[in-house]
């Protein structure tokens, strides 16, 4: 009897589980679509008024209703880049130590500490940035950099303490724990045989780590880096506390700047006037697209390296 | 500031939780005897500590009326008011003609208290209060006055040796009523400022670093040698910050205090428009502190719901009477009596019922 068969299948739970899983999966897709939809709809005024010049415009003037997002895009990209340049070598190095070299007990203890770091709210990092890093940068680091490398334009200008460099460093501190804990897990998951085979062929410990273990785990390492980049791009509170909040593109890393997430957080609540509000939402849209592009890029990178490499 | 607001919020939440005992008899003056009335408002953060106290105290006197206020910012207050999602709004800036045009019903402005903005600075070796002329402040914030020993500053500070160091300007990075008052003042005293920058809750600053909130500006000023910024008087008083005197329209150098702020409002009372949408910066009168402003409640002129309408009208009356005496202890300047009298007449314009 078909009805009985249907009931039996229902009782087995397969259909139900299938349906539920499908529903949950669709919910995620729906949420993303809704976010994109809302961002597009609520930025229509700014998009029609400024078109593509919104992305290249450098003036942000709420009084004259003139909006350009270039300084914010620049600030987000530059601070995230500084963060990655500092955090990736540091994070991978620390993870290598924890996974390959340190005794298991020390490794576990340190990992616990690092995971605690990852759970610290970003406003706390911002406070540490303001209270510790900013004075340190103004009094010691920036003058020293200026003495040593003052001829390079990126290290010129007055040392305020706040600015791109400080924001990038705070971001680096924030994303290192992510990189360390994910990369460590990935390295630990590399099968023992891989290392043993390399050692048996006569390679040193370093050669086995650098030529066998790391390449084997590179997918996970990429994953960790892009997870960290995602966090750096979207970070709001800690950045706005130390970046100086000045919508201006400067070659010098000492100069105060601004980021996309920071300007939305700063100005959204008090934004009067529809065009102003739509311009802020359009910045949100740009940030959304930027994260999408970064994620897509990560996917492509993973696909390409998987095809070329030996292990998945 | 954040933590204090959090604390006040907790208190308010606790107060709300503790009230509402079913057996409590409604007091005689409760607008709707017996029925529980819940009124919601949203808007300005600057007067929030006082509003929170007002709504709490009012609730104690009228247990049947509960006023919930979300301090989301003036912009949000105006938006929610226009969208009709709250019963009343609150703003540190008067609504513009354009915004009033979007409103489905007529919106009335009721000044509640006054705030002021003061220049705060950190100059190496200076412990005295500095005097600032309007031109000096405008020049510093425009970036045309670059050094502390510029004659425009030094002239009015005889006897103080100002350093020849660069001035670091600090402003608010978040949109804020404080910035509106500050830039509104600079627009009035400096044609160059009005032309280049103008006034708003956020502006395109010619120079300087941005700090988030009063605490962000204060932090940057304290940390950065030879810097100057601006904060609310309330914040400067509570945190015992040093701040400078500003020359008012009558030519007197005045350090901001509550009396000077109320005097600024009193000086403009005679010429005040009937809708109270008025800027009182650079007010006339020898006692008037020049960088001051009202903060407003935004109330629809027609409230269909009888109970809520009566509650709002009754609260406005109470706020103008008993409420005003609660302002000064919290460092808000109370309204001058001329403005209170004028507002009483305006309350009559609120039409309750269908």
The whole-number pLDDT of residue B3 equals: 43
Residues B223, A59: C-beta atoms closer than 8 Å? no
Token pair, residue B175, equals 């949109």
Its CATH architecture, for the domain A54-311, is: Orthogonal Bundle (1.10)
Residue B23 pLDDT > 50, yes or no? no
Which residues of chain B lie closer than 8 angstroms to A271, CB-CB? 75, 175, 201-202
Of A62, A267, A273, the CB nearest to B174: A267
Quick one: average pLDDT of A256-269?
A: 94
Å from B280 to nearest chain A CA? 20
Quick one: average pLDDT of A71-96?
A: 96
Contacts of A299-305 with CB under 8 Å at 24 or more apart are A301/A222, A302/A219, A302/A222, A302/A223, A305/A218, A305/A219, A305/A222
Concatenate the DSSP letters of all residues of B107-162 into one string: EEEEEEEEEEEEEEEE-TT--SPPEE-HHHHHHHHHTS--BTT-HHHHTTSTT---
Q: Nearest residue on chain A to B174, judged by CA atoms?
A: A266
The whole-number pLDDT of residue B127 equals: 87
Q: Which of A250, A255, A269 is the best substitution to test chain B (most B C-beta atoms within 10 A)?
A: A269
Residues A266, B72: C-beta atoms closer than 8 Å? no
Of B79, B198, B210, the CB nearest to A245: B210
Quick one: average pLDDT of B41-49?
A: 92
Concatenate the DSSP letters of all residues of A241-287 into one string: HHS-------S-TTS----HHHHHHHHTTT--SHHHHHHHHHHHHHH
The pLDDT confidence band at residue B4, using thresholds 50, 70 and 90, is very low
Q: Nearest residue on chain B to A134, judged by CA atoms?
A: B223
Residue B11 pLDDT > 60, yes or no? no
CA separation (Å) from B225 to B105, B148, B165, B167, B221? 51, 11, 9, 9, 7
The whole-number pLDDT of residue B18 equals: 41
Q: Which of B169, B172, B200 is the best substitution to test chain A (most A C-beta atoms within 10 A)?
A: B200
Query: Residue A115 CA to chain centroid, in angstroms?
Result: 17
Residues B223, A241: C-beta atoms closer than 8 Å? no
Q: Which of B3, B75, B92, B217 is the best substitution to test chain A (most A C-beta atoms within 10 A)?
A: B75
The whole-number pLDDT of residue A301 equals: 81
Q: What is the pLDDT of residues A52-76, one digit of tens each?
A: 999 999 999 999 999 999 999 999 9
Residues B203, A161: C-beta atoms closer than 8 Å? no
Q: Nearest residue on chain A to B2, judged by CA atoms?
A: A123
Residue-range domain boundaries for chain A: 1-41, 54-311
Contacts of A224 (CB under 8 A, 6+ apart): A91, A178, A179, A182, A183, A186
The pLDDT confidence band at residue A4, using thresholds 50, 70 and 90, is low
Average pLDDT, chain A: 91
Token pair, residue B62, equals 């009228």
Q: What is the pLDDT of residues A156-206, one digit of tens each?
A: 888 999 999 999 999 999 999 999 999 999 999 999 999 999 999 999 988
Q: Which range is least confidently modeled, A155-164, B21-30, B101-110?
A: B21-30
In sequence order, the β-bridge partners of residue B113 are B295
- Residue B15 has a CB neighbour count (10 Å cut-off) of 16
Residues A266, B211: C-beta atoms closer than 8 Å? no
Quick one: average pLDDT of A105-109?
A: 92
Of residues B13 and A85, more confidently modeled: A85
Which residues of chain B lie closer than 8 angstroms to A272, CB-CB? 74-75, 78-79, 93, 96, 99, 201
Q: For A190-223, b where at least 16 C-beta lie within 10 A, e where not — what string?
A: beeebbeebeeeebeeeebbeebbbbbbbbbbbb
Q: What is the pLDDT of residues B122-151, one digit of tens each?
A: 998 888 899 999 999 999 999 999 999 999
Q: What is the pLDDT of residues A116-153, one digit of tens each?
A: 998 999 999 999 999 999 999 999 999 999 999 888 88
Which residues of chain A lie closer than 8 angstroms to B96, CB-CB? 272
Of A59, A134, A273, the CB nearest to B204: A59
Residues A267, B200: C-beta atoms closer than 8 Å? no
Of residues A125 and A306, more confidently modeled: A125
The whole-number pLDDT of residue A133 equals: 95
Crossing angle between the packed helical segments A260-267 and A70-96, to the nearest 10 degrees: 120
Q: Which range is least confidently modeled, A291-295, B53-57, B153-157?
A: A291-295
CA separation (Å) from A181 to A76, A85, A103, A252, B157? 24, 18, 16, 33, 58
Q: Which of B90, B174, B277 is the best substitution to test chain A (most A C-beta atoms within 10 A)?
A: B174
The whole-number pLDDT of residue B300 equals: 94
Backbone Cα Rg of chain B: 21
Residues A269, B168: C-beta atoms closer than 8 Å? no
| Complex confidence, ipTM | 0.85
Residues B223, A158: C-beta atoms closer than 8 Å? no
Token pair, residue B41, equals 């408002």
Q: Which of B83, B122, B198, B210 is the best substitution to test chain A (most A C-beta atoms within 10 A)?
A: B210
Of A256, A258, A272, the CB nearest to B75: A272
Share of chain B above pLDDT 90, in %: 75
Å from B2 to nearest chain A CA? 12
Q: Which of B171, B181, B202 is the best substitution to test chain A (most A C-beta atoms within 10 A)?
A: B202
Residue B21 pLDDT > 50, yes or no? no
Quick one: average pLDDT of B319-334?
A: 93
The pLDDT confidence band at residue B30, using thresholds 50, 70 and 90, is very low
Token pair, residue B337, equals 């009596």
Q: Which of A137, A272, A279, A280 is the best substitution to test chain B (most B C-beta atoms within 10 A)?
A: A272
Which residues of chain B lie closer than 8 angstroms to A266, CB-CB? 173-175, 202, 210, 212
Burial class for A110, CB neighbours closer than 10 Å (0-12, 13-18, 19+) = middle
Instruction: Quote the longest CA-to-CA distance of chain B.
Output: 70
The whole-number pLDDT of residue B34 equals: 57
Q: pTM, whole model, 2 decimals?
A: 0.86
Which residues of chain A lie closer than 8 angstroms to B219, CB-CB? 130
Cβ-Cβ pairs closer than 8 A, A with B, add up to 94
Given strand B253-254, what is the order of strands in its sheet? B131-132, B245-247, B253-254
Average pLDDT, chain B: 88
Residues B204, A247: C-beta atoms closer than 8 Å? yes
Residue A45 pLDDT > 90, yes or no? yes
Of B175, B210, B219, the CB nearest to A246: B210
Residues A245, B211: C-beta atoms closer than 8 Å? yes
Concatenate the DSSP letters of all residues of B298-351 into one string: EEESEE--HHHHHHHHHHHHHHHTTGGGGTGGGTPBPPPHHHHHHHHHHHTT-E
The whole-number pLDDT of residue A307 equals: 66
**Chain A interface, Cβ < 8 Å to B:** 59-64, 130, 134-135, 138, 158, 160-162, 240-241, 244-247, 256, 258, 262, 265-273
Å from A228 to nearest chain B CA? 25
Å from B92 to nearest chain A CA? 10
Token pair, residue A231, equals 């966090």
Query: Domains of chain B by range and CATH?
Result: 5-115+294-352 (3.40.190.10), 117-264 (3.40.190.10)
Residues A270, B175: C-beta atoms closer than 8 Å? yes
CA distance A299 to A223: 9
CA distance B168 to B180: 21
The whole-number pLDDT of residue A17 equals: 86
Quick one: average pLDDT of A200-214?
A: 91
Of A62, A240, A265, the CB nearest to B203: A62
Quick one: average pLDDT of B147-173?
A: 94
Which residues of chain B lie closer than 8 angstroms to A62, CB-CB? 175, 200-204
Instruction: Name the pairing type of β-strands B37-43 and B65-70.
Output: parallel
Q: What is the pLDDT of residues B258-309, one digit of tens each?
A: 999 999 999 998 889 999 999 999 999 899 999 999 999 999 999 999 999 9
Residues A63, B200: C-beta atoms closer than 8 Å? yes
Residues B208, A246: C-beta atoms closer than 8 Å? yes
Quick one: average pLDDT of B87-100?
A: 92
The pLDDT confidence band at residue A270, using thresholds 50, 70 and 90, is confident
Q: Within chain A, where are the H helices?
A: 2-12, 14-41, 44-50, 53-56, 70-96, 104-118, 122-128, 134-136, 142-149, 164-188, 192-200, 205-207, 214-216, 218-234, 237-242, 260-267, 274-308
């Amino acid at each position: 009897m078909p009805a009985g068969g249907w009931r039996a299948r229902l009782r087995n739970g397969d259909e139900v589980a299938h349906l539920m899983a499908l529903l949950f999966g669709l919910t995620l897709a729906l949420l993303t679509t809704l976010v994109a939809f809302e961002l597009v709809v609520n930025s229509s005024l700014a998009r029609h008024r400024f078109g593509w010049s919104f992305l290249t415009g450098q003036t942000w003037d709420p009084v004259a209703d003139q909006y350009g997002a270039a300084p914010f895009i620049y600030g987000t990209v530059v601070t995230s880049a500084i963060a990655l340049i500092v955090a990736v070598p540091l994070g991978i190095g620390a993870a290598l130590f924890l996974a390959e070299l340190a005794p298991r007990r020390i490794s576990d203890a340190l990992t616990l500490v690092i995971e605690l770091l990852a759970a610290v709210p970003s406003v706390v990092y911002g406070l540490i940035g303001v209270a510790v890093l900013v004075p340190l940068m103004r009094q010691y680091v920036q003058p020293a950099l200026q003495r040593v490398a003052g001829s390079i334009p990126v290290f010129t200008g007055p040392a305020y303490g706040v600015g791109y460099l400080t924001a990038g460093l705070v971001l680096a501190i924030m994303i290192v724990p992510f990189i360390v804990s994910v990369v460590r897990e990935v390295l630990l998951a590399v099968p023992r045989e891989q290392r043993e085979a390399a050692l048996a062929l006569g390679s040193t410990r370093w050669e086995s780590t650098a030529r066998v273990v790391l390449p084997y785990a590179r997918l996970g390492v990429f994953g960790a880096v892009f997870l960290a980049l995602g966090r750096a791009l979207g970070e709001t509170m800690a950045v706005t506390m130390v970046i100086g909040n000045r919508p201006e593109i400067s070659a010098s890393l000492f100069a105060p700047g601004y980021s996309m997430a920071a300007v939305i957080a700063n100005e959204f609540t008090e934004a009067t006037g529809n065009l102003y509000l739509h311009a802020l939402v359009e910045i949100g849209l740009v940030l959304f697209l930027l994260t999408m592009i970064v994620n897509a890029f990560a996917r492509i990178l993973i696909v390409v390296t998987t095809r070329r490499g030996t292990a998945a | 500031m954040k933590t204090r607001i959090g604390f006040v919020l907790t208190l308010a939440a606790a107060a709300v939780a503790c009230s509402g005992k079913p057996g409590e008899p409604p007091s005689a003056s409760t607008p709707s005897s017996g029925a529980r009335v819940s009124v919601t408002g949203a808007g300005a953060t600057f007067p929030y500590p006082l509003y929170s106290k007002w709504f709490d105290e009012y609730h104690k006197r009228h247990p049947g009326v509960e006023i919930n206020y979300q301090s989301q910012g003036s912009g949000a207050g105006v938006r929610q008011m226009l969208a009709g999602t709250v019963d009343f709004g609150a703003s540190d800036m008067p609504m513009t003609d354009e915004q009033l045009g979007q409103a489905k019903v007529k919106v009335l402005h009721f000044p509640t208290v006054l705030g002021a903005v003061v220049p705060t600075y950190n100059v190496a070796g200076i412990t005295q209060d500095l005097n600032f002329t309007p031109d000096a402040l405008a020049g510093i914030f425009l970036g045309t006055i670059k050094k502390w020993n510029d004659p425009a500053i030094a002239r009015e500070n005889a006897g103080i040796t100002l350093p020849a160091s660069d001035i670091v300007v600090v402003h608010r990075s978040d949109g804020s009523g404080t910035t509106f008052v500050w830039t509104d003042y600079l627009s009035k005293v400096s044609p160059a400022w009005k032309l280049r920058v103008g006034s708003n809750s956020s502006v395109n600053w010619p120079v300087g670093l941005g700090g988030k909130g009063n605490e962000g500006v204060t932090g940057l000023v304290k940390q950065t040698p030879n810097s100057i910024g601006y904060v609310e008087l309330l914040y400067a008083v509570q945190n015992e910050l040093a701040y400078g005197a500003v020359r008012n329209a009558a030519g007197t150098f005045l350090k901001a205090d509550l009396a000077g702020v109320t005097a600024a409002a009193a000086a403009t009372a005679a010429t005040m428009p009937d809708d109270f949408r008025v800027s009182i910066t650079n007010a006339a009168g020898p006692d008037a502190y020049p960088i001051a402003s009202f903060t407003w409640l935004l109330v629809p002129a027609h409230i269909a719901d009888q109970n809520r309408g009566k509650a709002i009208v009754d609260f406005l009356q109470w706020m103008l009477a008993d409420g005003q005496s609660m302002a000064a202890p919290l460092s808000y300047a109370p309204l001058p009596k001329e403005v209170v009298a004028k507002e009483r007449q305006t309350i009559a314009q609120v039409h309750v019922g269908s």
